[in-house]
Structure 1
Amino acid sequence: METNVLNPIPEKEFERLMELSELDLDYSDLDDQFKDLTKLAAKIAGTAISLINLIDTFTQWSIAHYGLPIDQMPREKSVCQYTIVGDDPLEVEDLSADERFNKFDYVTEDPNLRYYYGIPLTTKDGNNIGALCVLDDDQKNLTPEKIEMLKIIATEIVGRLSAYKALNTLKDELEEAKESQRKLSHDIRGPLGGIIGVADLIKEQGEKKDVDDILELINLIKQGGQSLLELADDVLSSSNTEEMRSPKSNEFNLYTLKDKLEQLYIPQAKAKYIDLTIVNESENAEIPFPKNKILQILGNIISNAIKFTPDGGMVMVRQEFNLNKESDTAKLLFSIKDTGVGISSGKIEEILNENAQSTSGTKGESGYGFGLPLVKHLIDKLDGNLHINSIEGEGTLFKVTLPIK
Structure 2
Amino acid sequence: MPTSSPIPANEFERVLDLIELDLDYTAQHESFEDLVKLAARVAGTEISLLNLIDSFTQWTISRHGMDMEQMPREDTVCQFTIMESDFLEVKNLMLDERFREKSYVAGDAALRYYFGVPLKTPNGYSIGALCMLDRVEHTLTPEKVELLKIIADEIVARLIMVQAINNLKYDLNEAKEVKKRVAHDIRGPIGGIIGLAQLISQRGEKNKLDDVLQFIKLIQKSGTSLLELADEILNTDVKSIQAAPELTEHELNLLVFKDKLEKLYLPQAKNKSISFLVNINPENGVVPFPKNKLLQITGNLISNAMKFTPVNGKVTVDLDLELKDNAKNLHIVVRDTGVGLDVPKMEAILNGTAASTDGTSGEQGYGFGLPLVKHLVDGLNGTLTVQSALGQGAIFDIKLPFN
Counterpart Cα distance in 2 of 1:336 and 1:182: 38
Asked if the contact 1:282/1:322 (under 8 Å) is kept, the reply is no
Per-residue deviation, residues 269-311 of structure 1 (Å, max 9, x unmatched): 1111111111111411111111110101011001111111101
1:246 Cα shift?
2.8
- Per the TM alignment, residue 351 of structure 1 is displaced from its structure 2 partner at its CA by 1.4
Q: Partner of 2:283 in structure 1?
A: 283
**Residues 76-115 of structure 1 mapped to structure 2, 5 A cutoff:** 76-115=74-113
Partner of 1:351: 349
Q: Distance in 1 between matches of 2:363 and 2:10?
A: 21
- Specify the alignment match of 2:338 in structure 1: 340
Q: Distance in 1 between matches of 2:190 and 2:390?
A: 63
Who is 1:360 aligned against? 358
Give the alignment's TM-score, normalised by structure 2: 0.88
Does structure 1 conserve the Cα–Cα contact (< 8 Å) formed by 2:55 and 2:368?
Answer: yes
Change (3 A) 1:384 1:87: same
Shift of 1:210: 5.9
Q: Counterparts of 1:120 and 1:262 in 2: how far apart (Å)?
A: 29
1:297-346 superposed Cα distances (whole Å, 9 cap, x missing partner): 01100111111110111111111111113xx1111111111101111211
DSSP 3-state at the match of 2:284? coil
Shift of the alpha carbon at 1:175? Answer: 2.5
Structure 2 residue matching 1:96: 3-state secondary structure: helix
Displacement, 1:368? Answer: 0.3
Checking the alignment, whether the CA contact within 8 Å between 2:258 and 2:278 is kept in structure 1 is: yes
2:162 alignment partner, one of 155, 161, 164: 164
CA contact (8 A) 1:41 1:134 kept: yes
- Alignment deviations for residues 149-194 of structure 1 (CA, whole Å, 9 cap, x no partner): 1101000000000101111221222232233324434542453465
Q: In 2, Cα distance between the equivalents of 1:364 and 1:382? A: 33
Q: Which amino acid counterpart does residue 160 of structure 1 have in structure 2?
A: R
Cα offset for 1:252? 0.8
**1:309 lines up with 2:337 in the alignment:** no
1:325-404 equivalences under 5 Å are 325=325, 328-404=326-402
Give the corresponding residue for 2:115.
Answer: 117
Matched residue SS, 2:312: coil
- Give the TM-score normalised by structure 1: 0.87
The answer to whether structure 1 residue 320 and structure 2 residue 320 are counterparts is yes
| 1:11 and 1:85 in contact (8 A); partners too | no
> Aligned partners of 1:191 and 1:317: how far apart in 2?
47
SS at match of 1:269: helix
Which of 17, 20, 25 pairs up with 2:18? 20
SS at match of 1:28: coil
Counterpart among 35, 40, 51 of residue 38 in structure 2: 40
Cα deviation per residue 1:11-62 (whole Å; 9 max; x = unaligned)? 1000001100000000111000111111111111111100010000000000
Q: Which runs of 5+ in 2 are unaligned?
A: 230-238
Q: Distance in 2 between matches of 1:167 and 1:259?
A: 24
Stretch of structure 1 that moved more, 173-182 or 105-114? 173-182
Where does residue 154 of structure 1 map in the other structure? 152
Residue pair 1:305, 1:340 contacting (<8 A) in 2 also: yes
- Given residue 45 of structure 1, which amino acid in structure 2 is its aligned partner? A
For 1:357-379, what per-residue CA distance to the aligned partner results, in whole angstroms no more than 9, with x for missing partners?
11111100000000010011111
Which AA in structure 1 matches 2:283? E
Mapped contact 1:10–1:86 kept (Cα < 8 A)? no
Q: Which amino acid aligns with 2:249?
A: S
Aligned residues: 381
Which secondary structure state, in structure 1, belongs to the residue aligned with residue 331 of structure 2?
strand
Match of 1:258, SS state, is: helix
8 Å CA contact retained: 1:243, 1:286 = no
| Alpha carbons 1:123, 1:129 under 8 Å: kept | yes
Residues 88-128 of structure 1 show CA distances to partners (whole Å, capped at 9, x for unaligned) of 21111111111111111111111100111111001111100
RMSD: 2.8
1:144 pairs, out of 133, 142, 145, with: 142
Q: Which of the numbers 9, 12, 27 marks the counterpart of 1:11? A: 9
SS of equivalent to 1:283: helix
- Give the 3-state SS of the residue equivalent to 1:160 in structure 2: helix
Q: Matched residues in 1 for 2:108 and 2:136: separation?
A: 13
SS at match of 2:386: strand
Report the alpha carbon displacement of residue 5 of structure 1 after superposing the two structures with TM: 4.5
Secondary structure at 1:354 match in 2: coil
Give me the whole-angstrom Cα distance separating, in 2, the residues matched to 1:323 and 1:200: 43
| Identity over aligned pairs, percent | 52
- SS for the counterpart of 2:61 is strand
Q: Structure 1 pair 104/242, CA: closer, same or farther in 2 (3 Å)?
A: farther
Q: Equivalents in 2 of 1:283, 1:276: separation in Å?
A: 22
Secondary structure class of the residue paired with 1:69: coil
Aligned to 1:235: none
Equivalent pair of 1:51/1:66 in contact (CA under 8 Å)? yes
Retained in 2: the 8 A contact 1:119–1:154? yes
